[in-house]
Structure 1
Amino acid sequence: MREWRLPDTLPLALERLWVYLPDPEMTGDAIVQQLRGMPNGQDVVLLVSPSLQAEPALMAYADDPANLCACLDQAAQTRWLLQPGAVALLVALLARQLKVTRISPYQTHGGITRPAAFFGRESLLARVLNREPGNYLLVGGRQLGKTSLMKAIERRFVGHPHVHCRYLSLRDHRLAVRLAAELGLPEDTGIDALVAAMSASAEGRRVLLLIDETDLFLRDEAQHGYPQLSALRAISEEGRCHFMLAGFWDLYEAVTLDFASPLRNFGEVIHVGGLEDEACHALATEPMSRLGVHFAALDLPRTLVAACGRRANLVAIVCQQLLSQLGRGERVIDARQLHAALGSDPVFDALAGWARLTPDPLANRIDRIVVYRLACAQLGPGAERGVALEDVLAAFDAAGVAVEAETLRRALARLQLAYVIRRDDSGARFVFAVPLFATQFQLEEARALQQRELQALALAEPSG
C-alpha cells in the first residue's frame, strides 16, 4: 500500500489515494481479505488489479458503496498506459466506482483552496494582478467569496519575480499578535518590525499582505483611535508594504462613513457581490460533467443560477445536494431533483444570519423590518416586484414610528452589501438579491413579524 498525494489541480475533492498493488499470485478472495484488514479510515483505495482471474472478486468489492475502493482493472490499465488524458481517465474511473458525494469537487464551506473549484472573478483578479502593487479594500457580505478571491490572488502570486504575497486571516482584533504568530516572532513584536521581517523574507520583492476577516479588528481600532491602521497607512505611504483588507460592515463604515478613519482614500474599494452569470453556469455544469453527471434539460442550470441569485456558495450547495440525491450509477439530474435541492435544509441554512448583521440591536431591527416589508410585498396577492423607499417609509409611518433618514439609508446600504437585497434594473425599487430568499417566509408570518418588530421599535422610542 502506497500513499499517493494528488495535486490540487485535480478536479476532485481528494487530497490523496492509497494505491494497492497486490502480489500477482494472490487470488481475488485473498486480496479482498487484505483490503478488509487495512486501516485506511476514510481515505479512498485505488486497487490495481493483478490479473484477469482476480477481477470478479475485486470488482464486486469495489462495487459495494460501503467500501471506499476503486478498482483499476486490466483493460483500464492498458488505456491508462496507451491513451492520452490519464487524469481524465482516473477521474472517470473514480466517478463511476465511488459515491460522487465522496469525491465531489463542490466546496460548500470556507474559502476555495483548489484552483479547479474556483470560477469567475476574472475582472476583479485583473484589477489586482495586472497593476503595480497598491492598497485594496475588499467589501462584501459573508459567504460571498471574499476569502476565495484573496486565496486566488495569493495563488497567482506564488513564485512571482516582483511580488511577495502573504495571506492572513484574523480570528479577533489582534492584528499584530496574529501576524507575529504567522511569522514565528514574539507576540509583542510591533507592526514596523513585523513588516521589516516580511520585507527581509521577500528578498527584494514588493510585499502585499492580504488581511481577511478584519471587522473585529476595525471595530477595536475605531474605539481606540486607529493606532495600528495609522501605522499601516504610514508603512504603505513609505512603499514598504501594501495591503488588501477584506471585511463587511465595519470595513464599509471605516471606508465610506467615518471621516476620521485612516482608511479614507487608503486604496481602491472593490465590492464583492454575485458571481458573473457565465461563471455561475460553469460552476453548475463543469464539475458535474467531470463526474459524468449531466442535467436532463439545458434550461435547468440557468434555473438553478437564477434561483440562487448568482451567489456562488449557494450554487455549490445546491449542486452538492443534487449529487447527494443520485443513486449509484445515476448520472442525469431532472427538474424534480432540482426543485428538491433548491428547497433543502442546507440551502436555507446558508441563507440564515441576515437578522443580526451588526452588534447594534436597533440597526438589526431596522434591517429586519425592511426585509419583512419586502417579503410581504413579494408574497402578497399582487406579487409586487419589490418595494420603493417610500413604501418602506410608509410602513414606519403607519405604525407611528419615526425613523431617521440616515438610519434607514444605512440599513438599506447594509442589506445591499450583505447581498440580501438589491436595486432592480430600474434602480427605483428594492428586490431580494437571491430569489430563493423569499421562499423562507410565509405571507402571514412575514406580516406578523413586521408588525411585532414595529411595535417593539415604538416601545423603545423615548417618550416625548
Structure 2
Amino acid sequence: VACYYILASNENLIEDIKLELDQEELSDKAFAKFINTSSKRYLFLIDEADDFVKYEKEHNYSSLKFMRSLSEKNNASFILAGFWETYRYTFFDYQSPIKNFASIFELEELEYEACIDLAIKPMKSLGLSYDSQKSVEWMITRLGQRANLIQIVCDYLVENIGASQKIITKEDITKALEGEKLLKFFDDWNEMSTDSKEKWIDRVVLYGTIAKGRFDDGDLQGLIKRYGLEINSNELDKSLVRLRLGYIIRKEDDGGYIYRVPLFVDSLLRGDVEGRFLGEVGK
C-alpha cells in the first residue's frame, strides 16, 4: 500500500492528490483510470479536513463524490482527519457522500503507559529525568492523558529549566502547568464552531455545568427551562457532541457527563464562572 499525507485545501484537494502522485497533468477521468488500473493500492490521509468538507457542502460535494467513486473500486482509501464540520456532514447531512462510504472513529485519550513514555523517553534522550514517577503520574492526571497537552508541558520544561539542571521536579512541572501557552490553549476552547449560536450554546453548557463536575441531560434541560433559553434538543445534542469531540467532556456509561482535563476545569473555576454563565443567559 502506498501511503500519502495531504493537508486539505478548500478547492484543490483532487489536484493536490494528483500532484503527490506526479500525475497533475491528468484529467479526473484519466486519473481515475490511473488509480483503478494500478498494481498498487493507495491510502490518502487528508488532514485538517473541516474547511474542505464545509466547502464541499457548498459545492455539491463534487470532490467527495469523486473520492467515493475511487474508493468503490477498492484501489484507493481515504482517511479524513477533522473535527466538528467533518462530523456534522457525516452524521447530520443525509446528502453527504461521506455518510455512504465512510466510518467515524473518535480519538480518545492516549493510553496511560504511552503517556508515561511520552513524558519520559524524549527527556531521557536529552539527558533529563524526573525526581519521581509520582511527579510524572501527577502531571498526566492533571492533563487528562491528552497527548498534545503533555507535549506542550514537556516543551516548556525543556525551554525553561536551567542549563545545568538534569532533574525535573514537581515544582518545575507546576510552573509548566501555569505556562502561558497552555493557558492560551485553554482560552481557545470555544473555537469548535464558526457559528455564533453554536458557540453560545457551548458556552451556556460549559459555564452552567463545570462547577458541578458531573452533569446529565436533566441538568441541562433544567437550565434551559429555568432561564427560558431558546435551545432545542437537536441544538443541545450537537453541542454535547462538539464538547465531546473537543476532549472537554466524556459521556459515561450511565448517560452522564464528566469533564476530562482537571487542569482545564481548575483554570476556568479560578475565574467568575457563575458570572460568565449569567452574562450568557442574559443575552
Counterpart residue number, 1:268: 103
8 Å Cα contact 2:152/2:182 also seen in 1? yes
Q: Distance in 1 between matches of 2:117 and 2:240?
A: 31
Residue number in structure 2 paired with 1:246: 81
- Provide the TM-score with structure 2 as the length reference: 0.91
Whole-angstrom CA distance in 2 between matches of 1:394 and 1:351: 27
TM superposition score normalised by structure 1: 0.57
User: What letter corresponds to residue 42 of structure 2 in structure 1?
Assistant: V
Q: Which residue of 2 aligns with 1:419?
A: 247
SS in 1 for 2:17: helix
* Contact kept in structure 1, 2:216 and 2:255, CA below 8 Å: yes
The equivalences for 1:3-82 within 5 A come to none
- The yes-or-no answer on 1:342 pairing with 2:192 is no
Cα distance in 2 for partners of 1:352, 1:194 equals 44
CA contact (8 A) 2:36 2:73 kept: no
Note closer, same or farther for the CA distance 1:216–1:207 as it changes in structure 2 (3 Å cut): same
One-letter amino acid of the counterpart of residue 169, structure 1: L
Contact 1:376–1:443, Cα closer than 8 Å, also in 2: no
Give distance in 2, aligned partners of 1:317 and 1:325: 12
Letter in 2 for 1:170: A
Alignment of 1:190-269 (within 5 A): 190-197=27-34, 204-269=39-104
Checking the alignment, whether the CA contact within 8 Å between 1:236 and 1:242 is kept in structure 2 is: yes
What RMSD in Å do the two structures reach over aligned CA positions? 2.2
Q: What secondary structure sits across from 1:310 in the alignment? A: coil
Q: Which residue of 1 aligns with 2:13?
A: 175
Kept in 1: contact 2:36–2:70 (CA 8 A): no
**8 Å contact from structure 1 (residues 195, 241) kept in 2:** no
Checking the alignment, whether the CA contact within 8 Å between 1:191 and 1:228 is kept in structure 2 is: no
Residue pair 1:215, 1:249 contacting (<8 A) in 2 also: yes
**Over residues 74-106 of structure 1, what are the superposed CA-to-partner deviations in whole Å (9 max), with x where a residue is unaligned?**
xxxxxxxxxxxxxxxxxxxxxxxxxxxxxxxxx
| Per-residue deviation, 1:211 | 1.5
Q: Which residue of 1 aligns with 2:266?
A: 439
Is contact 2:250-2:257 (8 Å) kept? Answer: yes
Deviations 1:389-428 (A, max 9, x none): 222222222212132011101100111011121124x544
> CA contact under 8 A between 2:128 and 2:168: conserved in structure 1?
yes
- SS of the residue aligned with 2:104? strand
Instruction: Give 1:126-165 correspondences, 5 Å limit.
Output: 163-165=1-3
Asked whether the 8 Å contact 2:49–2:82 carries over to 1, the reply is yes
- Contact 1:226–1:262 (CA under 8 A) maintained in structure 2: yes
> Which amino acid letter does the alignment assign opposite residue 193 of structure 1?
A
Q: Which moved more, 1:392-401 or 1:442-451?
A: 442-451
Please tell me whether residue 400 in structure 1 is matched to residue 228 in structure 2: yes
* Matched residue SS, 2:210: helix
CA distance in 2, matches of 1:416, 1:209: 26
Structure-2 change in CA distance of 1:360 and 1:349 (3 Å):
same
Distance 1:440 1:170 in 2: 33
Letter in 2 for 1:408: L
Structure 1 stretches (4+) deviating beyond 3 angstroms? 180-187, 189-200
For residues 229 and 266 of structure 1, the distance between their equivalents in structure 2, rounded to whole angstroms, comes to 10
Residues of 1 paired with 2:13 and 2:123: CA distance? 40
Matched residue pairs, number? 283
1:333-372 superposed Cα distances (whole Å, 9 cap, x missing partner): 1111111111111111222322121121111110111111
Q: Which residue of 2 aligns with 1:410?
A: 238
Cα offset, 1:262, TM superposition: 1.2
Question: Distance in 2 between the 1:198 and 1:233 partners?
Answer: 13
One-letter amino acid matched to 1:452 = G
Per-residue deviation at 1:196? 4.3
Amino acid aligned to 2:207: Y
1:185 offset after TM fit, Å?
Answer: 5.2
Q: Name the % identity.
A: 29
The aligned residue for residue 25 of structure 1 is none
Q: Is the 8 A contact 1:396 1:454 kept in 2?
A: no
Q: Which runs of 5+ in 1 are unaligned?
A: 1-162, 378-384, 457-464
Indicate the structure with greater helix content. 2
Q: What is the rounded CA distance, in whole Å, between the counterparts of 1:435 and 1:259 in structure 2? A: 37
Tell me the distance in 1 between the aligned counterparts of 2:129 and 2:268.
32
Aligned AA (1:390): G
Q: 1:388: which partner in 2?
A: 216
Give the secondary-structure state (helix, strand or coil) at the position aligned to 1:234: helix
Distance 1:196 1:167, change over 3 A: farther
Q: Name the CA distance, whole Å, in 2 between partners of 1:168 and 1:195.
A: 18
1:453-464 map, 5 Å: 453-456=280-283
Q: Give the superposition deviation at 1:180.
A: 4.0
Q: Give the residue type in structure 2 aligned to 1:430.
A: Y
Distance in 1 between residues matched to 2:133 and 2:70, nearest whole Å: 53
